[in-house]
Amino acid sequence: MATYLEFIQQNEERDGVRFSWNVWPSSRLEATRMVVPLACLLTPLKERLDLPPVQYEPVLCSRPTCKAVLNPLCQVDYRAKLWACNFCFQRNQFPPAYAGISEVNQPAELMPQFSTIEYIVQRGSPTPLIFLYVVDTCLEEEDLQALKESLQMSLSLLPPDALVGLITFGRMVQVHELSCEGISKSYVFRGTKDLTAKQIQQLNSRVRGYAGSYEARPLQTQEQPLISSRFLQPVHKIDMNLTDLLGELQRDPWPVTQGKRPLRSTGVALSIAVGLLEGTFPNTGARVMLFTGGPPTQGPGMVVGDELKTPIRSWHDIEKDNARFMKKATKHYEVLANRTAANGHCIDIYACALDQTGLLEMKCCANLTGGHMVMGDSFNTSLFKQTFQRVFSKDFNGQFRMAFGATLEVKTSRELKISGAIGPCVSLNAKGPCVSESELGIGGTCQWKICSLDPSSTLAIYFEVVNQHNAPIPQGGRGAVQFVSQYQHSSTQRRIRVTTIARNWADAQSQLQHIEAAFDQEAAAVLMARLGVYRAESEEGPDVLRWLDRQLIRLCQKFGQYNKDDPNSFRLSDSFSLYPQFMFHLRRSPFLQVFNNSPDESSYYRHHFARQDLTQSLIMIQPILYSYSFSGPPEPVLLDSSSILADRILLMDTFFQIVIYLGETIAQWQKAGYQDMPEYENFRHLLQAPLDDAQEILQTRFPMPRYINTEHGSSQARFLLSKVNPSQTHNNLYAWGQESGSPILTDDVSLQVFMDHLKKLAVSSAS
Amino acid sequence: MSVNQQAHTGLPYGQPQPGYQGYQQSGYGGQQMPAVHHSQYGAYNGPMPGYQQPAPPPGYFPSLGFPSKGSPVCLNSDTPILAPNFIGALRAPPPSGAPPPTSGAPVPAGQPVYSQFGQGDVQNGIGASAVQMQRPSASQPFIPGTAPTPVSQPATFQQYGPPPTSAQQLTNHMAGMQIGTSSSAPPPAGLGYGSSTSVPSASGSFTATGSGHYTPYSSSQGPPPVNVSHGLPPTSLSPNLSLGQPAFSGPPMSAQHPPQASGFVSPPCSTGIGPSSYPSTTGAPRPSTMQGSPLPGHALTGLPTSQPNHVSSPPPHPAMSGPPPGPPVLGLQGPPPPTHPSPSGYQMQQNGSFGQVRGPQPNYGGSYPGTPNYGSQPAPPPPPKRLDPDSIPSPQLSELPPQQKPRHRIDPDAIPSPIQVIEDDRNNRGSEPFITGVRGQVPPLVTTNFLVKDQGNASPRYIRCTSYNIPCTSDMAKQSQVPLAAVIKPLATLPTDETPPYLVDHGEPGPIRCNRCKAYMCPFMQFIEGGRRFQCCFCSCVTEVPPHYFQHLDHTGRRVDFYDRPELSLGSYEFLATASYCKNNKFPNPPAFIFMIDVSYNAVKSGLVRLICEELKSLLDYLPREGSIEESAIRVGFVTYNKVLHFYNVKSSLAQPQMMVVSDVADMFVPLLDGFLVNVNESRTVIVSLLDQIPEMFADTRETETVFAPVIQAGMEALKAAECAGKLFIFHTSLPIAEAPGKLKNRDDRKLINTDKEKTLFQPQTSFYSNLAKDCVAQGCCVDLFLFPNQYLDVATLGVVPYQTGGSIYKYAYFQLETDQERFLNDLRRDVQKEVGFDAVMRVRTSTGIRATDFFGAFYMSNTTDVELAGLDCDKTITVEFKHDDKLSEDSGALLQCALLYTSCAGQRRLRIHNLSLNCCTQLADLYRNCETDTLINYLAKFAYRGVLNNPVKTVRDTLINQCAQILACYRKNCASPSSAGQLILPECMKLLPVYLNCVLKSDVLQPGADVTTDDRAYIRQLVSSMDVAETNVFFYPRLLPLSKVDIDSDTLPAAIRNSEERLSKGDLYLLENGLNIFVWVGVNVQQSLIQNLFGVSSFSSISSTLSTLPVLENSFSKRVRSIIDMFQSQRSRYMKLIIVKQEDKLEMLFKHFLVEDKSMSGGASYVDFLCHMHKEIRQLLS
């Protein structure tokens, strides 16, 4: 065997699963002493080029409470054509179609390499994808123009049979009818009054009345789609119409007097969008795409008044309980988000403005429904344009990288129970024998709904070992977990992906080193971070930090090697060595630190943190820093102020930003124009190298990171300086007396100091 | 007297002739007669729809006529009797007398009267009446002549009534007529009439006249029968004055007739008789009669003097004086007893009695009966004779006995004829301009065409008053009971030959105003101290003249620049307002028009939506413009709606219109700002495209429910958002039952009629609309409502907002494209194009001593002084009532200043000022001499129509009758020369008050017929509330023209005839208009050639009564008739619906409803009956 590292990697490649512990402590008590909970990061739709879906239904365990899917871990009696469920031990007959089964003729789902398998099933008639644009018209002319172009462009990216709809809003909300010739029609609603679902239904019925000809048809069932088709039309039919309509979109005409914000009815617009889909296309894949250029300023969901002199709430206001509208607005959007989720639709938020736009209040719309959240300065930036374009990116099969209306069900073997999940999902409240009483994240259920997901969407799932200490598991026993995700593929097929994994149990008392060695510190860091961020949403920032610190100290106490009260003797094994560092950066990250971030930014960062896969999450926690110099190929360097050298070019990737930083000397050279001189071609290459690398990252990342090209001494350099470990500050600059690096003006503690403290506390017998 | 007479004769006679003839004619067979009338009024002659005792009329007239003629002499003799016109025919007693008379056959009610009189002599009674009649021209009076006549008429009718088929009818009629006559003494009457010629002779004359008449008719046409109908009248003849019958004999009739006969067919008779004004011809004969009559008729007492206008009056007086005393009484007594049996009942009874006489005609009203009447008509002529009554007495006496029955009636021709009065005024005053310089001048009647020269007082086109001479004290005012009111039409359209008000710009400082009362500079302000200050003519406060306005005074104390400044020399002018006169001190934006079209199933199916859209395309080029500006500043917007509202963005930059649907009707808002209200020229292509598409879009609609209040809210919000005032044109089809604010339920309940709860039918069912109206007014949002109901839609409620915002309501029940399109489109065009002011506030300031206390019209008031009008167009009128709060002085008179602040159609803020100076009097006689009945009726109608909101209709009617009785009684008591109580003496200026008042009382609002819907009543009620005097005049007393009398080669119209069925001839065509409808009535015997010329069909039976326009035929008759109709249409603010009524067709019922002198189906009294009733009331008051 290779190392655990390889094992972990291999598992991730195959199943999209990373566990914090790859050997499981066999009793509840032991498990709790491990500090880091038994949990995993699951990427349900991880792209697998080598996984052709099978075109039949999965075989299910016949026990009603189990219904686990037949998998390679099941024991099969080929003669009797029986199989034993590895979760509930129920013995099941194979269905008739499996009559020809034998040891040499196995269905795919029994082969070990198919621990993850995807079924294509026939359920109902396929419904086309739905894209409902909800567009803010209170934008600057240029912004609106750019947005209109982006939207028009997007029409060409949609599959021809996809349904599109358009709602625009400003002071009023307009629902546009798309199938009209000669005149463009829209239904207009006041932006200050929420509509109940019933009223939206009435809207539909009104449409019917007015489209008299439809009314004549007695077929109730036929009617629904016909009606909605007034607002949601196949792209290929109304392509031109909609393009024109978008082209004619005007800025909100209502005058905005000096000192006022435009009145923006985001809350109602969203509500109508949700209601519209709810009434007509429940439980089919649909995206509500909200494009907004400012905070909602009226009606339900308003975040700030229209007086410019009262600024939008800051963290400071929130702490002082001074944010007048926040609670109500949040409530409004939560209700909406839950309704949307219940219908299996998702809401994307594209917010482009220099100021905040109310993402804090609206975040749940994206968070609960798996929608995207994009924050930019303007719609007229490549950040938005490319990000938006990337929403419609396609995989190698030419299918959208998006899936809808997924249900994730988790089944566990008896020794395990499910505590909860953290990610872009909502609970389906499916109680079952494997649901734990103690909740972590969204708990109390073994099923979650993920209204929209893409190949990188990742959930953290937390388990609880329930096996009692006095009922040891036999040697070599394995615990198993099965993840069943049913979803609507972007090709409108229904698919089921089943991943079944198993891990060994180990007695933590006798085999601690095994468990220790199987610790996945990266996964653990991310899982702990998710827990922390999750808590931060509802708790005070300092409490969360204290909790994180305590956890870290406990972990060090548990797994460190040290002599009591002797910090210098403290050592951590390799498999734990990076963990404290992750925690150090996590503590400083915008996910837990609100200082210097607006509430919107915090929400934005947290949103992405809660859904990206492990690699990206780690980058978010601890940005990557590359150094380019004449002395060799680019190399990763410590995220430390000591890495900032005059003759280097640094490339930092924080996930949200790509920063290219030219050292002092390099910057001078560049200013002197050496790169343009033929004899200094190498310098030109050096300058170009990080740009190329950055481009590569930009190409693949979603959302598109903010791209910052800066140099020593420039104000934009703050993005870099705020991330690096301040090993050199104005406080210790002379003490260290090193020649390298550049000092950071901060009072933040450096990693060194942090570690010193940690050691001291870990070894202290007092705690 | 003589003088007066002369005067009268002078004018009246000459001109009158036509009128007279008209009358007579009408009276007679109505056949041709009708045509004759030209004059709008048919003064006395007017058929008496009247009350019970309709009969009287004829008698009266004659008497009047007589007076004039003979009057001179008589007058002299009578002189004592100043009483202008009174018909004193009946003496007070009538009531009591009543009982006996019945038997008298003809006159039921009258009888009673008669009886009283009768006791005296029928003749007497008659005489009296007759006398009065004459005066009429002057002022006068009817005589209580009393019902009898009417009754008789009815009777006739009945006979006629029967007439089923036309042919038969004829015969029947004929028969009837004859019969009638015979039965009721007709024969005698007839004979008598014939004798009428002889009128002079009195009784003898009767017969004579009677016959005479007949003959004429007959001679003229076969129709004589018609005359027969008159025959009834004959009965009535005497009726005029209860006694009239005797009077009947009354030469007058005869006299007149004869003349007329000669002159025209029948006309002469009646006319001649009636008013003094008769043509000379008649005059001649009459004179004799007159004399005779005068004497008898106390009424004559002609106060002629007092009443300049009515020349005739004078004569009467004499007559009055003379005859009344003696004869009348006798007459009355005489006849009554016999006749009657007549139940005491006055008029009403009379009816009955009449009925008895002729046969019971259930409906009086029956104009039908009228027909029969024709036959009998001849009788009527006799009445005139009655005039002579006085003289008659003796003769009558002889005859009376026999004839009594028939004669009980009052001769319709003898009672004051609106036609006559109108005609007289037209002749007397139409020729020279009315110069407004003199204080307290009474202007010509509204029916007269005259030119106005503004020399310091506002033109009567802007302001008319009930009286131009105001009592100095409130005691006097109370005593007279004459309401002091001004009917103001601030934005009235002037004829092209009159100059519109000048616009005065005083620049930044704005108009000069009194410091205290804020009155605006006007010609009556007194400059003092060398011009440095001026004293306010209203409150006497002295104000500094601002330096920039200073000007030296000339030796008379007038400013040197007097003639340069309109505000110093004219009665009407405008100021340019400054910012301080604007909302929020900001000059307004140009107004906007929003067209809001109902697109529910009904509207779409009937083709209405398409029609409107088509029309709008071209109509939008004719939005009101200011002066010479090329392009209208008005912006337009479009909304359609059913249960939801659809707004349209028609911004010029759009390739195609955008529709925005608002379904949230509970909380209305306007979904767009930019592009909703646009300039027509800029957005033309988009608008046209929209109007093309609207009918298509909703072609398949199934939506039947509509909302209403949200529509108005939407319009108002749109204007608010655009920060401008404007007008909403709402085209609506049904009761708004869709779930929305202002939702209504069907609460129509005919069972409520005549109960205490009837008023609820006029009240809005929810206060929602009142509140909405208030908001609209605050925004300057005027609402014009076009209704196309197929069933009840609660006009009373829907109309609240249009009404309170100064808008108009148009109603097209059972709208059908083919028949109603023309009318609707014309109304729409006119409504869109007419001059209108927005966001207006009107305030009337008065001299200290009186105060504007009450306002009637379409507007909203948030306090007690300011009339707020979201919109005010050139047809809207506000009636203002004044009350004393102190004394006035004769020296300084009373001044009115009406200031209207408004936004013009170009968005200019202006003040329009109208000033009017009135005289003040300490003598009641002055008051009565300077009244204007048309204005009074305008006020009374509005007062009554508002009253029905809070009081049972009956109470309202009684109040009206009571007030009028008091007015007249006060006159009788204080101004008229002493005369027998049995005489009805009317002030010259108010002699038409009874007939007009009766019309008001009988109107659909106050006395609905069975076929009048609740919506119609509410509609009429609101409509009348903002009518001007000319409109109310013709509305209540329609204009009826005989078409066959039309002179094809000239522009003059044939003389109008009185609105009574008995004036109609079977062989003739008539045109009747009342401002809402035009009827063309076709008699069954009309010559084929006329039918061919007019309708393009060969026979009577092939005329389609569904025609909504006359076919365009290339012959002079058709052209002429159509041009007359076109002319009428252009005179009215609404396009009138043309209805072809064939005699004896079912539509005729509708037509007869407008023959207001007849008894109506719904129980309204005939003119004669009412007159008698009035007389009784007066006498009661006097006793």
Q: Which of A7-21, A253-267, A645-659, B28-42 has the weakest average pLDDT?
A: B28-42
Q: How far apart are CA B217 and CA B379, in angstroms?
A: 12
Return the top range by mean pLDDT from A727-736, B66-75, B1068-1077: B1068-1077
What mean pLDDT do residues B1067-1079 have? 91
B739 interfaces chain A, CB cutoff of 8 Å: no
Residue B663 and residue A213: Cβ atoms within 8 Å?
A: no
Which residue of A lies nearest to B659 if distances are taken between CA atoms? Answer: A185
Residue B663 and residue A189: Cβ atoms within 8 Å?
A: yes
Q: Which of A186, A203, A241, A256 to mutate to test the interface with B (most CBs of B within 10 A)?
A: A186
Residue A184 and residue B658: Cβ atoms within 8 Å?
A: yes
Per-residue confidence (pLDDT) for residue A214, from 0 to 100 = 37
% of chain A surpassing 90 pLDDT: 55
Per-residue confidence (pLDDT) for residue A740, from 0 to 100 = 56
pLDDT at A533 over 70: yes
Neighbours of A306 (CB within 10 A): 18
All residues of chain A having their beta carbon less than 8 Å from the beta carbon of residue B702 are 209, 212, 215
A206 interfaces chain B, CB cutoff of 8 Å: yes
Per-residue confidence (pLDDT) for residue B445, from 0 to 100 = 93
Which residue of A lies nearest to B718 if distances are taken between CA atoms? Answer: A254
A215 interfaces chain B, CB cutoff of 8 Å: yes
Query: For the domain A130-201+228-391, what is the CATH code?
Result: 3.40.50.410
* Nearest-neighbour CA in chain B from A388: distance (Å): 28
Per-residue confidence (pLDDT) for residue B950, from 0 to 100 = 92
Query: For the domain A520-611+727-766, what is the CATH code?
Result: 1.20.120.730
Choose which CATH entry (3.40.50.720, 3.40.20.10, 3.30.720.120, 3.40.50.10480) describes domain A623-724. 3.40.20.10
What mean pLDDT do residues A136-155 have? 93
A195 interfaces chain B, CB cutoff of 8 Å: yes
B481: left (phi over 0), alpha (psi -120 to 50) or beta: left
All residues of chain B having their beta carbon less than 8 Å from the beta carbon of residue A250 are 674
Residue found by looking up tokens 């003696």 in the block: B326
- Segment (H or E) for B82: none
What is the 8-class DSSP label of residue B79?
Answer: T
A255 interfaces chain B, CB cutoff of 8 Å: yes
Residue B671 and residue A184: Cβ atoms within 8 Å?
A: no
Q: Which of A84-93, A570-579, B171-180, B926-935 has the weakest average pLDDT?
A: B171-180
B1016 interfaces chain A, CB cutoff of 8 Å: no
A212 interfaces chain B, CB cutoff of 8 Å: yes
B600 interfaces chain A, CB cutoff of 8 Å: no
All residues of chain A having their beta carbon less than 8 Å from the beta carbon of residue B654 are 248
Task: List pLDDT tens digits, range B292-315.
Answer: 333 333 333 333 333 333 333 333
Q: Distance between alpha carbon A43 and the CA centroid of its chain, in Å? A: 10
* Nearest-neighbour CA in chain A from B542: distance (Å): 46
User: Which residue(s) pair with A460 in the sheet?
Assistant: A41, A422
What rounded mean pLDDT belongs to chain B? 72
Residue A189 and residue B689: Cβ atoms within 8 Å?
A: no
Give the pLDDT band (50/70/90) at residue B984: confident
**Quick one: three-class SS letters along B913-954?**
EEEEEEEEECCHHHHHHCECHHHHHHHHHHHHHHHCCCCCHH
Residue B693 and residue A211: Cβ atoms within 8 Å?
A: no
Per-residue confidence (pLDDT) for residue B26, from 0 to 100 = 36
* ipTM of predicted complex: 0.83
What mean pLDDT do residues B67-94 have? 36
pTM for this entry? 0.75
Task: List pLDDT tens digits, range B1101-1132.
Answer: 888 888 888 899 999 889 999 999 999 999 89
All residues of chain B having their beta carbon less than 8 Å from the beta carbon of residue A248 are 654-655, 658
Q: Which of B664, B692, B698 to mutate to test the interface with A (most CBs of A within 10 A)?
A: B664
A398 interfaces chain B, CB cutoff of 8 Å: no
**Would you kindly state where each structural domain of chain A is located, as residue ranges?**
4-122+398-519, 130-201+228-391, 520-611+727-766, 623-724
pLDDT at B868 over 50: yes
Per-residue confidence (pLDDT) for residue A205, from 0 to 100 = 60
Contacts A–B by Cβ distance under 8 A? 86
- Three-point CA angle A67, A71, A76, nearest 5°: 100
Q: Which of A10-19, B176-185, B1143-1152 has the weakest average pLDDT?
A: B176-185
Residue B673 and residue A244: Cβ atoms within 8 Å?
A: no
pLDDT at B752 over 90: no
* Nearest-neighbour CA in chain B from A729: distance (Å): 59
Which residue of B lies nearest to A195 if distances are taken between CA atoms? Answer: B664
Residues 6 or more apart whose Cβ sits within 8 Å of residue B639: B594, B595, B596, B597, B645, B646, B647, B648, B711, B714, B715, B718
Residue A244 and residue B655: Cβ atoms within 8 Å?
A: yes
Per-residue confidence (pLDDT) for residue A508, from 0 to 100 = 83
Residues 6 or more apart whose Cβ sits within 8 Å of residue A228: A204, A276, A279, A280, A281
* Nearest-neighbour CA in chain A from B816: distance (Å): 24
Per-residue confidence (pLDDT) for residue A106, from 0 to 100 = 87
Q: Distance between alpha carbon B50 and the CA centroid of its chain, in Å? A: 16
Q: How far apart are CA A575 and CA A521, in angstroms?
A: 6
What mean pLDDT do residues A358-371 have? 93
B689 interfaces chain A, CB cutoff of 8 Å: yes
Residue B659 and residue A183: Cβ atoms within 8 Å?
A: yes
All residues of chain B having their beta carbon less than 8 Å from the beta carbon of residue A183 are 656-659, 689-690, 693, 697
A179 interfaces chain B, CB cutoff of 8 Å: no
All residues of chain B having their beta carbon less than 8 Å from the beta carbon of residue A213 are 700
Residue B703 and residue A210: Cβ atoms within 8 Å?
A: yes
Residue B672 and residue A253: Cβ atoms within 8 Å?
A: yes
pLDDT at B373 over 70: no
B906 interfaces chain A, CB cutoff of 8 Å: no
Per-residue confidence (pLDDT) for residue A204, from 0 to 100 = 65
Task: List pLDDT tens digits, range A306-355.
Answer: 999 999 999 999 989 888 899 999 999 999 999 999 999 999 999 999 99
pLDDT at B408 over 80: no
Task: List pLDDT tens digits, range B493-544.
Answer: 999 999 999 999 998 889 999 999 999 999 999 999 989 999 999 999 999 9
Higher-confidence position of B272 and B521 = B521
* Nearest-neighbour CA in chain A from B712: distance (Å): 17
Per-residue confidence (pLDDT) for residue A741, from 0 to 100 = 63
Token readout for B590 is 């140009």
Residue B644 and residue A206: Cβ atoms within 8 Å?
A: yes
User: Which residue(s) pair with B207 in the sheet?
Assistant: B195
Q: How far apart are CA B635 and CA B1160, in angstroms?
A: 48
Per-residue confidence (pLDDT) for residue B206, from 0 to 100 = 38
Q: Which of A314-323, A436-445, A682-691, B196-205 has the weakest average pLDDT?
A: B196-205
Residue found by looking up tokens 């109580």 in the block: B981
Measured in residues, chain B has a length of 1183
Alpha helices, DSSP H, located in B197-279? 203-220, 224-237, 244-249, 251-263, 273
* A210 closest CB neighbour out of B654, B664, B701: B701
- B411 close to B244: Cβ distance less than 8 angstroms: yes
* B658 closest CB neighbour out of A186, A203, A210: A186
Give the pLDDT band (50/70/90) at residue B285: very low
pLDDT at A626 over 80: yes
Query: For the domain A4-122+398-519, what is the CATH code?
Result: 2.60.40.1670
Q: Which of B609, B648, B663, B713 to mutate to test the interface with A (most CBs of A within 10 A)?
A: B663
Per-residue confidence (pLDDT) for residue A215, from 0 to 100 = 36
Task: List pLDDT tens digits, range B693-714.
Answer: 999 989 988 889 999 999 999 9
pLDDT at A146 over 90: yes
Q: How far apart are CA A753 and CA B972, in angstroms?
A: 120
All residues of chain B having their beta carbon less than 8 Å from the beta carbon of residue A172 are 669, 671-672
pLDDT at A506 over 80: yes
* Nearest-neighbour CA in chain A from B584: distance (Å): 17
pLDDT at B141 over 70: no
Q: How far apart are CA B1080 and CA B132, in angstroms?
A: 34
* Nearest-neighbour CA in chain A from B523: distance (Å): 47
pLDDT at B551 over 50: yes
Residue A202 and residue B660: Cβ atoms within 8 Å?
A: no
Q: How far apart are CA B446 and CA B437, in angstroms?
A: 19
Per-residue confidence (pLDDT) for residue A483, from 0 to 100 = 95
Residue B693 and residue A182: Cβ atoms within 8 Å?
A: yes
Per-residue confidence (pLDDT) for residue A540, from 0 to 100 = 84
Which residue of A lies nearest to B674 if distances are taken between CA atoms? Answer: A253
* Nearest-neighbour CA in chain B from A432: distance (Å): 45
B544 interfaces chain A, CB cutoff of 8 Å: no
Per-residue confidence (pLDDT) for residue A734, from 0 to 100 = 57
What mean pLDDT do residues B649-664 have? 88
